[in-house]
Structure 1
Amino acid sequence: MTPAVWGAVLGGSLAAGLLLVVARVRVLRRPQLAVRVLPYLRDLPHTGALPRPASSGDGLVAALLQPAADTVERVLGGATSVRRRLQRAAIDKTVHEFRIEQVLWGVVAFAVAAAIGVLRMLTAPGSALTWLLVSAIAFVSGVLARDTWLTSQVRSRERRILAEFPTVAELLALAVAAGEGPVAALDRVVRRSGGELSTDLARVLADIRTGEPVGAAFDAMAASTGLPLVARFAQGVAVAVERGTPLADVLHAQAADVREAGRRELIETAARKEVFMMVPVVFLVLPVRISNIHV
C-alpha cells in the first residue's frame, strides 16, 4: 500500500473514532427523565435533592472501570448485603455504582503508593517488585476501606435516627391526640421536622399518597430499616391503624421505650469504659499527689 492509502485509512479511522466519541458524549450529557419530571410533581414531599444528571466524564470513567468493578463483584460478592447497607444509609446508588466507587478508591490508593515508591527508588534505588506488591496491597486496602466506610455511614445514620426518634414519636402522638388522622399527623410532623427519620417518614407519606395502604407503607418501612426499635415503631403504627388501637398511646409507649433503651446503653457504655476512666486518675492525678506528699 502506498503512503497515500495509509494516510487515507488512518484519517478515516481517526474521523470515525472522533464521531463515536462525540455521539457518546451527547448521549451521556442528555438529562435523565427523573431530572425533567420531578420538578413538576408538586404534590409529593421533597425528600432530598434531585438526582444529579450524569456528566460525560462520569460516564467515561464508569465505562473504563466497569471491567474492574465486575471483577471486584465476582471476588467479594455480597451484593445483597451491599444493597441492604446502601438502602439503610440512604445512599441513592446501585451495587454496580458502589463497586465502581470501590475501584476508584483502590486506584487512588494504588497511585499514592506507586508515587511514593517511585520517589523512594529515585533517592534510594531498591526493588521495584517490592513496591509493586505494596501498591497492589494498597489497591486492595482502598477497595476494602470503601466497604468499611459504608458500614460506618450506616451506623452514623442509625445513631442520628435513634437520637431524633423520641421527639418525632412524641410529635406524632400529640398530633394524633389533638384529633388528626394518621396521615395528616404524619404530614404535619414531616413538614415541621428535619432529619434522617423525617426523610424516611416522608417516603412513607409519599407511598401513602400514591395509593398504598397506611399499614402496608409502615410494614415496608419496618422491613427496610435495620433498627429493631424503628421496626417495632412502624409495626406498631401499622397494627394500630389496621385494628383501631389508640395510636397516641402506642406512640407514647414507643418513645418511652427508645428513651429507656438509650439510657440503658449509656449505662452499659460507661460500665465498659470504667477502666479507661481510671487511667487519668492512676497515671496523672495519683503520681502528682504522691510527689506532693513526699515534698
Structure 2
Amino acid sequence: MSTTTVVAILFLIPALILINEDFSWEKFALTTVHKVGDRTSVKNKLIELGHPDQTHYENFRLKQLLVTSLILFPLVLILLFQDHSLAFIAACLIGVVALVLLYFEKSLINQITEHRISIDSDFPSVIEMMTLALSAGETPLSSLERITKRGSGPLVSELRIVVVEVKSGLPFQHALDHMGRRVQSVAVRRFIDAVVIAISRGAPLIEVLHSHAREAQNFQRNRILSAAGKSEISMMIPVVFLILPISILFALWPSLSNLNLFAQG
C-alpha cells in the first residue's frame, strides 16, 4: 500500500464519519472511556483530590484521548511521508500512547503527593485552632465551622464537607469517619478515631486535642528534618562532582604549568 493511499484513507475515514448524522464524537469518546476502564485507580485518586463526580473522571480520560489524538495524527503523516515501514510506525504510535498515558498518570500522582503533604502541613495548625475554640466554650461542630470560614487548603476543604454533611442530617461521628476514609493521612485518621471514641464515651475533647496537637507537631518536625537531610545529601552531589574538582584544578594548575615549563627548559 502506497503512502498516498494511506494518507487518503486517513482523511477519508473522518470525512465519512462527519457525513453520518447519527454519529456523535462525544458518545464515541465516552463509550471508549468506559470500555477502557479504570485500571490505574484514577477514580480513587480524583476522589481524594476532592473530585468525586463521574464527570471529572470522564474529563480526565477525554483529555488523555484528545492529547493522544492531536499527537498521533500529525506524527502518522510525518512518518508516512518519510517512507518508514508500517512496523516502525506502529512501534512509534505505541510508544507515544504509552508516554502520554504515563505523563498524565505521573501528573496525577504528583498532585496526590502535594495534596497529602499540604494536609499533613496544615494539620497541626488546624488542631490548635480547634483546641482554642473548644477551650473558649464552642461545640466541635461550631469550631469546625469557624475554621472552614477563616481557613483555606485541602484539609479545610475536607472539614467543610464534614460541616455540610452534619448540617444535612448525618451524625457528627459518621461525617468524621467518612473524612478519615477520604483522606490518606495516618495522623488525620488517628485523630479522627480518637475524637470519635472521645465523643462516644463522653471523654473531654480538649485533652485529646492537646495530645494530638503535640503529636502532630512532632510528626511535622520529624518530616521537615527528614526532608532537610535528603536535601543535604542532594546538595553534596554538585559540591563533590563539580565544585571540588574545579577547586583542585585551580589549586594544582600553577604547579603543573611550572612543571611543564621546567620540562621544556
TM-score range, shorter chain: 0.7 to 0.9
Mapping for residues 101-180 of structure 1, pairs under 5 Å: 101-122=60-81, 124-180=82-138
Shift of 1:175: 0.4
Identity across matched positions, percent: 25
Q: Which amino acid aligns with 2:111?
A: Q
CA shift in 2, pair 1:127/1:145, >3 Å? same
Shift of 1:85: 1.8
Distance 2:110 2:93 in 1: 25
Mapping for residues 220-259 of structure 1, pairs under 5 Å: 220-259=178-217
1:216 — aligned with what? 174
Q: Which amino acid aligns with 2:29?
A: L
Runs of 4+ in 1 over 6 A off after TM superposition: none
Are residue 195 (structure 1) and residue 153 (structure 2) matched?
yes
CA shift in 2, pair 1:61/1:180, >3 Å? farther
CA shift in 2, pair 1:139/1:104, >3 Å? farther
Length-normalised TM-score, structure 1: 0.69
Mapping for residues 27-46 of structure 1, pairs under 5 Å: none
Shift of 1:225: 1.8
CA shift in 2, pair 1:288/1:141, >3 Å? closer
Are residue 65 (structure 1) and residue 65 (structure 2) matched?
no
Shift of 1:230: 1.0
CA shift in 2, pair 1:220/1:141, >3 Å? same
Residue deviations 1:134-155 (CA, integer Å, cap 9, x gap): 2233234433443333332222
Q: Is the 8 A contact 1:208 1:214 kept in 2?
A: yes
Distance 2:193 2:113 in 1: 22
Shift of 1:214: 1.6
Shift of 1:231: 1.0
CA shift in 2, pair 1:114/1:133, >3 Å? farther
Q: Is the 8 A contact 1:166 1:258 kept in 2?
A: yes
Q: Secondary structure, in 3 states, of the residue corresponding to 1:211? A: coil
Mapping for residues 45-64 of structure 1, pairs under 5 Å: 61-64=25-28
Shift of 1:110: 4.1
Shift of 1:192: 1.3
Task: In structure 2, list runs of 5 or more residues that go unmatched.
Answer: 1-19, 255-265
Aligned partner of 1:83 among 36, 43, 52: 43
Distance 1:93 1:146 in 2: 19
Distance 1:120 1:251 in 2: 64
Distance 2:89 2:152 in 1: 49
Distance 1:126 1:254 in 2: 64
Residue deviations 1:164-187 (CA, integer Å, cap 9, x gap): 111111111000011111111111
CA shift in 2, pair 1:97/1:137, >3 Å? farther
Q: Is the 8 A contact 2:46 2:56 kept in 1?
A: no
Q: Is the 8 A contact 1:106 1:140 kept in 2?
A: no
CA shift in 2, pair 1:142/1:98, >3 Å? farther
Shift of 1:229: 0.9
1:98 — aligned with what? 57
Distance 1:181 1:247 in 2: 10
Q: Is the 8 A contact 1:157 1:196 kept in 2?
A: yes
Q: Secondary structure, in 3 states, of the residue corresponding to 1:212? A: coil
CA shift in 2, pair 1:98/1:275, >3 Å? same
Aligned residues: 234
Larger Rg: 2
Aligned partner of 2:163 among 173, 193, 205: 205
Length-normalised TM-score, structure 2: 0.76
